[in-house]
Amino acid sequence: MKKEARAFIVLLGIAGVTFCLVRFYKHDSVKPPVTDEAKIQRGYEWNDIELPDNYSWREETLTDDDFFSMRAFYDGRYAESELPGQSGDIVFPSGKYYSTVITDMEVNSFPGQNLWGKIDKSMNRNGWKMGIPYAEYEIQGTAADGPTGSLVGYVKKLDNQLRTIVYSYSVSGTWVGTSESPAQLKCPCKTTINIFISDPVDLSEVLPK
């Protein structure tokens, strides 16, 4: 082989090795910036609820007490100890709160219950649950039920972040009853429906150390 050809091959090999090292160094040391597109993709991973169509939703402003009522709960039922595990609240200090009102309801129409049935299927399909295990804890969404309305919270964990979505409705109108029969709602009446979508909280900061 001629000297010129051997020199060309050596130079070509050096250039190839140099190119690979540069590519490796850039890949290893430079992290891609967090773009708006990446943030949007993160939202897709959460599978947030979409506000149902055919309703006039408006965004409401919440007080600290309102945020506290949208909390989740934890208990240490999976702790490897004979002593009761720790329990407490998880408060989500920020998020979006939406409201809509359905007026002139007829008796037995139950729009709040009917809409919740549809939302419940969507929530479970997208990984939102009323309770999830995490480490030694069980984390549960809030819940309440009564003759004038209901409230149910769902929770979801992504990496070490936790969020909640709370659906609630309340019925208002004239209640009629006697000492011999339970009170019944006299319609037309109205139902107020609310949906709270929290921002994430870091589980390492809200659970006991």
Per-residue pLDDT, averaged over 131-158, amounts to: 92
> Any alpha helices (H) in 30-142, and if so which ranges?
36-46, 64-69, 111-125
Whether residue 42 is predicted with pLDDT greater than 60 in this model: the reply is no
Q: Which two tokens stand for residue 108?
A: 């037995």
Whole-prediction pTM: 0.73
Q: Is the N-terminal amide bond of 93 cis, ω within 30° of 0?
A: no
**Which tens digit of pLDDT belongs to each residue from 48-82?**
778 888 889 999 999 888 899 999 999 998 887 75
In this predicted structure, which of 12-21, 44-53, 112-121 has the lowest mean pLDDT?
Answer: 12-21
pLDDT at 113 (0 to 100): 83
The answer to whether 155 touches 178, Cβ cutoff 8 Å, is: no
Nearest alpha-carbon partner for 168 in 209, 206, 196, 208: 196
Backbone φ, ψ for residue 34 (5° rounding): -80, 105
Give the C-alpha separation, 142 to 203, whole Å. Answer: 17
CB neighbours (10 Å) of residue 138?
16
Across 31-40, 45-54, 76-85, 126-135, the highest mean pLDDT is recorded for 126-135
